Each structure stands twice: as structure tokens, then as C-alpha cells.
Structure 1
Amino acid sequence: MDTGTHVVMGIALGGLSTLDPAVGLDNPTAHAVMLGALIGSQAPDLDTILKLRNNAKYIRNHRGITHSIPAIFLWSILITGMITIFLPESNLLHLYLWTLLAIVLHVFVDIFNAYGTQALRPFTKKWIALGIINTFDPFIFIAHLVGISIWLIGGHPGYTFLGVYLVLIGYYVVRIMMKRNIVHKLHKLLPHIEQVIISPTMRFRKWHIAIMTKTSFHVARSENGEIILLDEFERIPVPQTDIIRAAEKDDNISAFLSFSPVYRWEVDEYTDHYEVRFIDLRYRSKGYYPFVAIVQLDQDLNIVSSYTGWIFSEEKLRKKLELIPE
């Protein structure tokens, strides 16, 4: 989920914790648990600082080791220890448990996005991405704001957020059923489907869809219960030519390939250089595929320029590459 949603979830858990007799409404443990819930709800996303280095590092590592099973326990121990330095009177066990819950909830809700997490590391590095909830879901965010508002005007925080989370459990069930219905319709519409990747949008009844069959890639969307097929590409395996092998050594290309489950590729030859492009098919927007990886190589197959990330026009992509014009 986005940072704002994780913040309101931290506040909500702090409010929910007041139902715990060891926490209560206004005492050192309650204050400590609120801090633990707020910090714990953000801690796994510390790897966002990798974006300051470059997109390749960010794409390869975001929601990876920081969302893993060992990290969950490490975060909770570190955060609990830090808070008890300043609030030593708080109940250590209950502070730890609520902080741990905040971190677990962070990782758990991220699994429902299309991006996903490597939550089962170190047992597997497989990305778990259920594609049920958008990274920012207005209903989830507003539900938390409603709960916070009720708390501010005098409602009991514990019972308020218990009600909020019961509503949200029902919301998740509805979203799961909606996705299953889309997959069912797709299997009726297209033969020989091998994989369906569905990415929810901020709109409740609109979903991006990428489909792999034995011979082709299909890009579609579901809107108001209707499946709309948009593009079809022949499914051609990436050839292991000298140009491709040279391109795959680039950090931006290898990061893209480690993350994207469905993409097409292009190789273009110009007078003085080659250009290799990989295009993620999950995020079609206004006829454009904005998530790409591209590398330019000279005639001796040395990497001259490369980029991976979100680009919404060819002009901006050329500015990112800078060194060689098309």
C-alpha cells in the first residue's frame, strides 16, 4: 500500500490496541503502543531510500528482504527496544506484540497489490502478488479516516476500529470474488490460457489485465463487469543473440527481468548503435505501456546508456537515455 494508507493503518492499530486491558486508553503503555504501531506500519518500506540510488536497485529490492520473515521479527525487536528507552514504564510484552502486529499487517496488505512482496523469504524469493487491491485504494483510506474522525469526536477507538476492520474484511472478500469472476470470464473468452495477471486500479470496477496463452500475449481491461480486449502480441521467446546477451548484463535490464512476469521485447538497429527494449504488459495506460527497460549499445556491444522505470512518453524516455538519440 502507499505511505498514507500505512500511516492511517498504524493509527488504527494504536486505537484498536485500547481493547487490550494491558494497554488501556491513557497510560505509558498506550502511548508506547501507538508509537510502535506507527513506526512499525512504516518500517518495512525503509528500502524506499534505494530509489535515491537508482531505479534498478529499487525495483530489484523494494518489498524484498525488508518484507521477509526474519525482517518482520528484527523490525519488531528494534522498534520495541528503541521505544522502551524513552518509555521504560510501558508493558514490554504487549508493546512488542502490537508492534509486531503492525509490521505483519503492513506486509500482509502489500501481498494483495499487483506489485506484491517477497514475504516468504528466506524459504523462497518468489514474488507473492494477489492483484486484489490497488496500491492506493480510496475505500480503504477513507474508511480509516472515518474511524479516526469518530475517535476525534469522542468515540471509543477500540470499538470504532474493530468495526472499521470488520467492514474492510468484507470489502476484501468482495474484491476477491470480483477478481475470480474476471478470471472465469477470461477462460470462457480465450482458449489455452496459461496465466492471467490482473492489476486493480483506483476505480472499484476497473482492472488492468495481461494474459498469456501458448502462442500470444493479450492485453485487456475489465470495466463494469465487461472484458475489453485491447492488444494482442505474438509470444516470441527472447532469442539469446549476442546483442540480447550483452543487453542482459545491464543492471536496469536485469532488474526489470527479475521483476516483470509478462513482457514483450524489441531490438532495433541504427546506423551507429543497437537498442534493446523490454515492455511490461501489465500497465497499459491510454494506449501506452509506461513501465519499460531499455539499453543502448554501440556497434561493439558496449553498453552506452540504459534506463528502467515509468515513462509516459517517448520524448521523456529519450531525455532519460540522454547519450544517444534515436
Structure 2
Amino acid sequence: MDTGTHIVMGFALGGLAMIDPIVANSPATAQSVLIAVVIGSQAPDADTILKLRNNAVYIRHHRGITHSIPAVALWPIAITGALFPFFPEANLLHLWLWTFLAVFLHVFVDIFNSYGTQALRPFSSKWIALGIINTFDPFIFGIHIVGLMIWGFGVDPVPTFLTMYGIIVVYYVLRFMLQSAVRHSIKSTIPEAENIIIAPTMRFYQWRIAAETKEHFYVGRAYGRSITIHDKFKRIPVPETDVLNKAKTDKNISAFLSFSPIYRWELVESDDQYEVRFIDLRYRSNDHYPFVAVVQMDKDLNILSSYTGWIFSEEKLQRKLDFLPNE
């Protein structure tokens, strides 16, 4: 989920913590738990700082180790240990338990996005992405805001947030049902599809879709059960050539390939250089595919410049390549 949603989830969890008699009857525990769950709801995204280095590092590691099984165990210990000296009268066990729940929920809800997490590390580096909730979901964010406002007016937070989370559970079930219906429609439209990716949007009934068969890639949109195919590309495996093999050693290309499950590639040769592009097919927007990885090499296969990330115009991409040689 986005940062804003994680923040409001933290405050809501702090209100729900009043269901715990130990928290409700101890001001020190209640105060420390509220602070801890807000921090815990953000802690796994500490790896966002990697973006300051470059996109390749960020793409390869974001929602990786900080969302792993060891991290889910260690974040609550670190947060509890940091806060307890300021609240020595707080109940240490219950402070840790609620902090653990906040961290766990952060990782758990991220699994439902199309970006996903490596939540099973160190046992598996596979990205788990169920793709039923958009990174920012207006309904989930909005219902949290409503719940917090009701709490702010003095209403008991426990029934308020229990009701809210009950509604959210029903919402998730509905999203699963909608995604299943879309998948069935895609299989009816493209019976030979081998791999189907369905990504949510901010609109309840609209989904981005990408599918591959042995011969083609298909990219489109779904509205309810109605499927519209916008693009169809010949599926050409990446060949084992010197140019492509060298391109795959670049850190930006390597990071992209480690993350993207469905993409096409292009090779453009000019008089003095090669340009290789890998294009993620999941994020088509306004006839454009913004998530790409590009590497430029001279004729001796020396890497001159490379980039991976979100680009919405060719002009901006070329400026990035000129400004950030071999980023």
C-alpha cells in the first residue's frame, strides 16, 4: 500500500488496541502502543531510502528483506526496545504484541498489491503479488479516514474499527471475486493464454490485463467481465547474442529482469551504438508503457549509459540516459 494508507492504518490499529484491557487500563501502555503501531506500520518501507542510490537498487530490494520473515520478527523488537525507556511503566509484552501486529499487517496487506513482496524470504525469493488491491485504494484509505474522524468525535474506537475492518474484509472478498471473474473472461477471450496477469486500478471495476501465449503477448483492460485488447505483440524470446547477453549484465537491466514477470524487448542499432530496451507490459497507460529498462552500448559492447524506472516520454528518457551514464 501507499505511505498514506499505512499511516492511517497505524492510527486505526492504535485505536483498536483499546480492545486489550492491559492497554486500555494503562495510560503509559496505551500511549506507547499508539506510537509503536504507527511506527510499525511504516517500518518495513524503510528501504524506500534505497531510491536515493538509484532505481536499480531500489527495484531489486524494495519490499525484499525489510518485508521478510526475519524482518517481521525483528522490527517489533527494535521498535519496542527503542520506545520502552521512554515508557518504563508500559507493559512490555503487550507493547511488543501490538507492534508485531502492526508490522505483520503492513507486510500482509502489501501482498495483495500487484507489486507484491518477498515475504517468504529467506525460504523463497519469489515475489508474492495477489494483485487485487491497487497500491492506493480510495475506498480503503477513505474508510480509515472516516473511522478516525468518528474516533476523533469521541466515539468508542473498538466497535468503530471492528466494524471498519469487517467492511474491509468483505471488500477484499469482493475484489477476489471480481478478479476471478476477469480471469475467467480472459481465458474465454484468449483460450491459449499460458500466463495471465491482472492488475487492479483505482477504479473498482477496471483492471489492467497482460497475457502471453506461445506466440503472442496481449495487453488490454477489463471492465467487469468485458475484455478489451489494446495491443498484441509477437512473442520473441530474448536471443543468446553477444549484444543481448552483454545488455543483461548491466545492473539496471538485471534489476528490471529480476522484477518484471512479463515484458518484450527491442534492439535498435545505429552507426556507432546499440540500444536495448526491455518494456514491462503490465502498466500500459494512454498508449504508453512507462516502466522500462534501457542500455546503450558502443560497437565494442562497452556500456555507455543505462536506466530503469518510470518514464512517460521519449524526450525524458533520452535526457536521463544523457545525464546518468550507466546509472
Contact 1:288 1:312 in 2 (8 A): yes
Tell me the equivalent position of 1:159: 159
Contact 1:68 1:122 in 2 (8 A): yes
The Cα shift of 1:85 comes to 1.2
The Cα shift of 1:225 comes to 3.4
Question: CA offsets, 1:251-306, max 9 Å, x none?
Answer: 00000000000000001100110000000000000000000000000010000000
In structure 2, stretches of 5+ residues that fail to align are: none
Pair 1:253-2:217 in alignment: no
Contact 1:304 1:323 in 2 (8 A): no
Pair 1:262-2:262 in alignment: yes
Question: CA offsets, 1:112-155, max 9 Å, x none?
Answer: 00000000001100000000000000000000000000000011
Tell me the equivalent position of 1:145: 145
Change (3 A) 1:4 1:56: same
| Inter-partner Cα distance in structure 2 for 1:26 and 1:10 | 19
| Inter-partner Cα distance in structure 2 for 1:26 and 1:322 | 59
| Inter-partner Cα distance in structure 2 for 1:126 and 1:224 | 29
Contact 2:238 2:265 in 1 (8 A): yes
Tell me the equivalent position of 2:5: 5
The Cα shift of 1:203 comes to 1.1
Question: CA offsets, 1:26-58, max 9 Å, x none?
Answer: 600000110110000000000000000000000
Contact 1:208 1:222 in 2 (8 A): yes
Tell me the equivalent position of 2:207: 207
SS of match in other structure, 1:37: helix
Tell me the equivalent position of 2:92: 92
Output the aligned Cα RMSD: 1.2
Contact 2:182 2:224 in 1 (8 A): no
Pair 1:222-2:228 in alignment: no
Pair 1:188-2:217 in alignment: no
Q: Which amino acid aligns with 2:66?
A: T
| Inter-partner Cα distance in structure 1 for 2:180 and 2:156 | 37
Question: CA offsets, 1:160-196, max 9 Å, x none?
Answer: 1111000000000000000000000111111211111
| Inter-partner Cα distance in structure 2 for 1:105 and 1:232 | 38
| Inter-partner Cα distance in structure 2 for 1:26 and 1:155 | 19
Q: Which amino acid aligns with 1:191?
A: P
SS of match in other structure, 1:322: helix
Aligned length in residues: 325
Moved beyond 3 Å, runs of 4+: none
Tell me the equivalent position of 2:240: 240
Tell me the equivalent position of 1:63: 63
| Inter-partner Cα distance in structure 1 for 2:9 and 2:26 | 20
- Percent of aligned pairs with the same residue? 63
Q: Which amino acid aligns with 1:298?
A: D
SS of match in other structure, 2:295: strand
TM-score (normalizing by structure 2): 0.98
The Cα shift of 1:213 comes to 1.2
Tell me the equivalent position of 1:117: 117
In structure 1, stretches of 5+ residues that fail to align are: none
The Cα shift of 1:90 comes to 0.5
Tell me the equivalent position of 1:103: 103
| Inter-partner Cα distance in structure 1 for 2:255 and 2:29 | 43
Change (3 A) 1:310 1:25: farther
| Inter-partner Cα distance in structure 1 for 2:128 and 2:185 | 23
| Inter-partner Cα distance in structure 2 for 1:85 and 1:299 | 62
TM-score (normalizing by structure 1): 0.98
Aligned pairs (5 A) from 1:270-309 = 270-309=270-309
Q: Which amino acid aligns with 2:87?
A: L
| Inter-partner Cα distance in structure 1 for 2:101 and 2:89 | 21
Tell me the equivalent position of 1:131: 131
SS of match in other structure, 1:264: strand
Q: Which amino acid aligns with 1:135?
A: T
The Cα shift of 1:96 comes to 0.5
Question: CA offsets, 1:87-126, max 9 Å, x none?
Answer: 0110111110100000000000000000000000011000
| Inter-partner Cα distance in structure 1 for 2:192 and 2:224 | 25
Contact 1:191 1:213 in 2 (8 A): no
| Inter-partner Cα distance in structure 2 for 1:285 and 1:44 | 29
Tell me the equivalent position of 2:14: 14
| Inter-partner Cα distance in structure 1 for 2:225 and 2:41 | 34
Q: Which amino acid aligns with 2:166?
A: L
